[in-house]
A and B are shown apart, each in its own frame.
Chain A
């Protein structure tokens, strides 16, 4: 299986900060990567797919980039509603796998 490693596992940031989360795959995944946001007690929500394509209705402050094995999710200006846990997921292989998550907390 392709292992997905997210870093950091948690971070503290302030409203207005630029936040970057990294997801590294154990092998190349050709941009077959999605990002999800999950708030406590809620279901995950799709933010981006194909590494950089914004899902409909998702604010443009969210963006994704990367290639090969390394991908990033960037929040350009953190808003109060963005405090949550973020997960990456690869769909390059037949065995779909998630990263371990990055919790974004209020500083």
Chain B
């Protein structure tokens, strides 16, 4: 069974850091791009970050650029999101999701839709 399981969420103070993990199973992890998408309480979906299958290309939404770092360990079938300088507006359920490998055109990387999602992990930012 294809499965993604997030962990690492919790309560953190404003300005603090947190590392989320996403354990993948049931598919060849190293063949897929991976994504993080978040959803603030009562709000819609917000795209956060993506990483190519070999980790060579990454993407960040402007709202997290410079504060969050996406990475992956294909030997451990695990995706990570290192979050720093956390703000109240970062409070959300964070989902990891699988995607097709991106395609490259010139210097740009184009990611696709997400076909498998984890159940999410909750990040609360509060003093």
Mutual binders A and B: yes
- B92 is an interface residue with CB less than 8 A from chain A: no
Given known contacts A98-B46, A100-B44, is B119 in contact with A46 (CB within 8 Å)?
A: no
In the complex the two chains form, is A98's CB within 8 Å of B45's CB? yes
Additional 19 contacts, C-beta under 8 A, given A49-B115, A98-B44: A34-B114, A36-B45, A38-B45, A42-B119, A43-B120, A44-B95, A46-B114, A46-B116, A46-B117, A49-B112, A49-B113, A91-B111, A91-B112, A94-B59, A94-B109, A95-B59, A96-B111, A97-B47, A101-B45
Given the known A-B contacts A49-B113, A91-B110, A91-B113, are A96 and B47 also in contact in the complex, defined by CB atoms under 8 Å? yes
Contact indicator per residue, chain A 28-54, by CB within 8 Å of chain B (1) or not (0): 000000101010001111100100000
CA of A43 to CA of B108, assembled, Å: 29
Question: Does A87 interact with chain B (Cβ within 8 Å)?
Answer: yes
In the complex, chain A residues whose CB is within 8 Å of the CB of B111 = 91, 94, 96
CA distance A4 to B63 in the complex (A): 17
Bound: A94/B46 CA distance, A: 15
Do B110 and A89 touch across chains, with their CB atoms under 8 A apart?
A: no
Main secondary structure of the interface of B (DSSP, over half): strand
Q: Is A70 an interface residue (CB 8 A)?
A: no
Check B123 for interface membership: any CB of A closer than 8 A.
no
Given contacts A87-B44, A98-B45, A100-B44, contact A43 B110 (CB under 8 A): no
Q: Can you pick out 26 interface pairs between chain A and chain B where the beta carbons lie within 8 Å of each other?
A: A34-B113, A34-B114, A36-B45, A38-B45, A43-B95, A43-B117, A43-B118, A43-B120, A44-B45, A44-B95, A46-B113, A46-B114, A46-B117, A49-B115, A87-B44, A87-B45, A89-B45, A91-B110, A91-B111, A93-B110, A94-B108, A95-B47, A95-B61, A98-B46, A98-B47, A101-B44
